[in-house]
Chain A
Amino acid sequence: MALSRQHELHKRRFSRNLGLGLVLVGFVALIFGLTVVKVSNEDFAMPTSEGAN
């Protein structure tokens, strides 16, 4: 099964994909954290129903 052999190219692609995946997971976690902080802030107010109309 020569074609299934790991090539150096595959390693580089894997490192890139893994790195990007971790960056994206980190980004999602950061946005989640930021949202929690911003929403918990005393200055934050939900729009009233009047404001929404």
Chain B
Amino acid sequence: MSDASLNTTQTQATEAGFGDYFALLKPRVMTLVVFTAFVGLVAAPVGLHPVVAFAAILFIAVGGGASGALNMWWDADIDAVMKRTAKRPIPAGRISGDEAFGFGMALAGFSVVMLALATNFLAAALLAFTIFFYVVVYTMWLKRWTPQNIVIGGAAGAFPPMIGWAAATGTISVESILMFALIFMWTPPHFWALALFTRMDYDNAQVPMLTVTHGRRATRVHILVYTILLAALAIGTGFTSVGGPVYLVVALYLNARFLKGAYDIWRRSEERAEADKYLTERKFFKASLVYLFAHFGAIALEAALVPFGLGGW
């Protein structure tokens, strides 16, 4: 046996394992994409064959993963500076930027074409637009330009339930727009809470997060305002056809807690936050994850109860 590359350090430094390619797809973000797309699909009034539904969710997830890979390709310089992202495959030197770009583009094309073949063109067009929006509008344009990056860029993460709904029905409707709006309004307080306790990271990377451009007091005010708007939207959704008694109870409880968290963040001074190492902000960030999963879980539950004569209004 002869293997010329065996002793080549260059090859060792760049040769990636399967897990590195998987990490390029941002698997954590993908869980949110998979779950919300699934809820959009099951909440739709039109049933899909389980195999087609599985394929649709898989291709939506692959499309989301492709966006993640292209985001990592473009943002490798920022990722290298930030502690939270420095170990990602590109800044760590396990995958080259060009390779990530090719991988992302190939998966993007593959996922859109496959979703069109498995379901319909509207769902595929929405997926293509989502990838474009996340990579070009958010990553390349907004992220380094405006502190509203999270607000507008959040739309990219809000599309999956709409794509799931479109995959089942072939249409866009008020219900799918409401599910979109729920994630869209949830994203800013979620990320700003993160920005409050990962302060130095964004400062070092010179990303114009609200905390960097407008200060931490303004960020706390923004979190409270967005949470109030989000609560109104989330509870209001309870009275539409995707809502129902179960959803409404969940929404009332979670929004009361979330509003309390936002109020606590708003009331706190920076000195107090530093003294307890941003405990309230960290709790709020964790609660925001539960918040979104529980709301979408309740929507799915309402849909699952319909065949038993329950669920919905």
Chain A residues in contact with chain B, CB under 8 A? 3-4, 7-9, 11-13, 15-16, 18-20, 30, 33-34, 36-38, 41
Contact = CB atoms under 8 A, between A and B. Distances in A.
B28 interface: no
B287 interface: no
A16 B11 contact: no
Contacts of B5: 9
B18 A18 contact: yes
Contact of A34 (B3, B17, B22, B52): B52
Contact of A9 (B12, B21, B51): B12
A34 B51 CA distance: 6
Q: Which label, helix, strand, loop or mixed, suits the secondary structure of the B interface?
A: helix
Interface in B14-71: 15-19, 21-22, 49, 51-52, 54-55, 58
24 contacts: A3-B1, A8-B12, A9-B6, A9-B11, A9-B12, A9-B15, A11-B17, A15-B17, A15-B18, A16-B18, A19-B18, A19-B22, A20-B18, A30-B51, A30-B54, A30-B58, A34-B52, A34-B55, A34-B117, A37-B49, A37-B51, A37-B52, A38-B52, A41-B49
Contacts of B55: 30, 33-34
Nearest to A4: B1
A12 B16 contact: yes
B80 interface: no
| Interface size of B as a range | 20 to 34
Contacts of A41: 49
Nearest to B11: A9
A15 B15 CA distance: 11
B233 interface: no
Contacts of A37: 49, 51-52
A16 B89 CA distance: 14
Contact of A3 (B2, B117, B118): B2
Contacts of B3: 3
B6 A34 contact: no
B160 to A, nearest CB: 19
Contacts of A4: 1
B17 A12 contact: yes
Contacts of B15: 9, 12-13
A33 B2 CA distance: 42
Given A9-B6, A38-B52, 14 more contacts: A3-B1, A4-B1, A9-B15, A12-B16, A15-B18, A15-B19, A16-B18, A19-B21, A30-B51, A30-B54, A30-B55, A33-B55, A34-B52, A34-B117
Nearest to B19: A15
